[in-house]
Homo-oligomer: A and B are copies of this chain.
Amino acid sequence: MAQAIIAAGCAVGAGLAAIAGIGPGIGQGFAAGKGTEAVGNQPEAKGDIMSTMLLGCAVAESTGIYGLVIAIILIFANPWI
């Protein structure tokens, strides 16, 4: 029974951690929209715009990855079971 409570708590915790993806999702979409707009205005600067956009998104991705890491740890590598 004790193990069941731990496992259920980990499952709910992993689900909560995955919710953190709402932030990067909105933020990266905003960046993508701004990048698309900028490419439409200056197609000749497409390379510079895209590399900036991807670099910014890569940074913003980090907190989403943190959530994924915490969820994976809670499921597969928690030290209690």
Contact = CB atoms under 8 A, between A and B. Distances in A.
Interface residues of A, number: 77
A79 B14 CA distance: 14
Nearest to A16: B15
Given A8-B6, A76-B79, A32 B18 contact: no
Q: Is the interface of A mostly helix, strand, loop or mixed?
A: helix
Q: How many copies does the complex hold?
A: 14
A70 B28 CA distance: 20
Interface of A: 1-43, 45-46, 48-50, 52-76, 78-81
Q: Which 6 A-B pairs give the minimum distances between C-beta atoms?
A: A27-B29, A32-B56, A23-B25, A38-B40, A8-B9, A21-B63
